[in-house]
Amino acid sequence: MPAKQNLRQHKKLITALIIIVVAIFTVGMVIRSRSDDIQYFTAKVTRGNITAVVQATGTINALTTVPVGSSVSGIVKYVFADFNTHVQAGQVLAQLDPTTFEAQVVQARGNLANAQANVKNLIASVAAQEAAIQTNKANLARLDAALEYSKVNTQRILDLAEQQIISRDQKDLAESSLDQAAAQVHAQQAQLNQSIAQLNQTQAQLQEARAQVEVMRGALELAEKNLRDTTIVSPINGVIVARNIDVGQAVAAAFQAPNLFTIAQDLKHMQVDTSTDESDTGNIKIGGEATFQVDAFPTETFRGQVSAIRLNATTVQNVVTYDTVINFANPDEKLLPGETAYVTIPTGFARNTLRIPNAALRFKPQLPGKELEQLYSRYHIPSAATKPHLGGMQVVWKQGPKNQLIPIAVEVGITDYTNTQLLKGDLKPGEALVTGEILPQGTTYTPGQPRFGGRR
């Protein structure tokens, strides 16, 4: 009787223990059965703004950088400017030793004076020879007249001799006088021709002497220019960013003009030179805004405008890039040439649009190809969305009843590397899209890396 009473008193406790054991066993079975199912990671479709950007790394440079060299060789005598010196156009930066070039100027001036004196002497010779020619011409005219008189007189004497009025000796004398007059005319003509030839020769020498004067004048101008070039001056207003000479240094300009200084024209207006991928250049607009940051001011964001996409492409390991130039104002000269800039160029903006997480666009279930094709066919997924992604078509996945996956074809637009704009597709804000999965064996499927760009 006491045993039965004791059993009756503990009956409720035993029943409760049995129920707890059954519940634990049931829960364990459920957990075990669920551990064999695939678990999915999801992210929701949201609504908001999207800004597509191109990101690149570039270098800050001055708008215009002018190297200042020397066209003459010499020893540096003075240096009047240093790094960071603000200079004006025409300001003296350095002075080479001018001693040799001053001597060359003196020599060139002496040579020019000598050539000019030679010209004057030849001009005087020409004048004297022209006067001698005039004298010879007068003498020739006089001798021509005497010859004509001698011819007439001789003819008259010959006539008288035929009439035997005068003696034979007079006849011979008249003929001899005629021959002498003719010989004098020929001699005077030869002398005149010689004077003309000498004049022509002197005139040629005069032309050569005048040409020599021009040569000597050019040599003097060159010597004076070389002397002036020993004084190195700034060609522009700006700031010296590099100095490559010291006092006593020899400057050799025989083969190539050495770079003595480098001057940045204006550090209040500068530019960022950055390389952008060929796939991004179609989305970058000239005149569009851009922002960038530098390591020197990590908490500040600087703004500029895209001024050019230069046409000289650069190819490195089959990657084609273009130099994109961004102009910006630097009124306080905070930013310096050569600093690294981390550039962000907006290429598109969508306001209050549906946004798909990029991880959902990268997800593709680990299913056999045949099973994937059957799912695509059952849910009418176009081929453009599954492989080539033509027209921005892609496939996202969501969970249906009984945890099965349902593919959805979507057309997407711009992306900000986190979300992508939804242009077309049967999706609503708040819907969960699959971004990853855990396989039954516990192995994790990791989606592929995102693809960057204005459109996907």
341 domain residue, yes or no: no
Please spell the DSSP secondary structure of 117-152, one letter per residue.
HHHHHHHHHHHHHHHHHHHHHHHHHHHHHHHHHHHH
More confident residue, 155 or 98: 98
Same domain, 198 and 216: yes
> Domain residues for 424?
37-50+352-445
Q: Are residues 162 and 218 in the same domain?
A: yes
Q: Which of 203, 229, 255 is the last residue of a domain?
A: 229
Q: Is residue 309 part of a domain?
A: no
Any idea which of 24-38, 333-347, 361-375, 430-444 has the lowest mean pLDDT?
24-38
Task: Answer yes or no: is 312 within a domain.
Answer: no
Same-domain status, 361 and 435: yes
| Count of domains forming the chain | 3
One domain for residues 223 and 147: yes
Torsion sign across C-alpha atoms 275, 278, 279, 285: positive
Partners of 447 in the β-ladder: none
Of 207, 229, 251, which residue sits at a domain end? 229
Shared-domain flag, residues 235 and 225? no
Alpha-carbon gap, residue 313 to 235, rounded angstroms:
31
pLDDT at 119: 95
Domain end position, chosen among 229, 244, 274: 229
Measured between its terminal Cα atoms, the distance across the chain in Å is 84
> What is the pLDDT confidence band of residue 31, given thresholds at 50, 70 and 90?
very low
Residue 131 lies in a domain: yes
Residue 392 pLDDT level (bands cut at 50, 70, 90):
confident
Q: What is the pLDDT of residues 125-137, one digit of tens each?
A: 999 999 999 998 9
Q: Is 326 exposed, middle or buried (0-12, 13-18, 19+ CB in 10 A)?
A: buried
CA dist list (Å): 102 to 70, 105, 168, 186: 17, 5, 85, 59
CATH, residue 141: 1.10.287
pTM of the predicted model as reported, rounded to 2 decimal places: 0.63
The CATH number covering residue 44 comes to 2.40.420.20
Q: Are residues 215 and 243 in the same domain?
A: no
316 in a domain, yes or no? no
**Residues 90, 68: Cα–Cα separation, whole Å:** 12
In this structure, the answer to whether residues 391 and 410 fall within a common structural domain is yes
The verdict on residue 323 lying in a domain is no
Are 125 and 243 found together in one domain? no
Using CA atoms, how far apart are residues 283 and 455, in angstroms rounded to an integer? 10
**Both 77 and 113 in a single domain?**
no
pLDDT in tens, 44-80: 999 999 999 999 999 999 999 999 999 999 999 999 9
Higher per-residue confidence, 380 vs 439: 380
Indicate if 90 and 181 belong to the same structural domain.
no
Can you tell me the distance from the alpha carbon of 405 to that of 432, in angstroms, rounded to the nearest whole number?
12
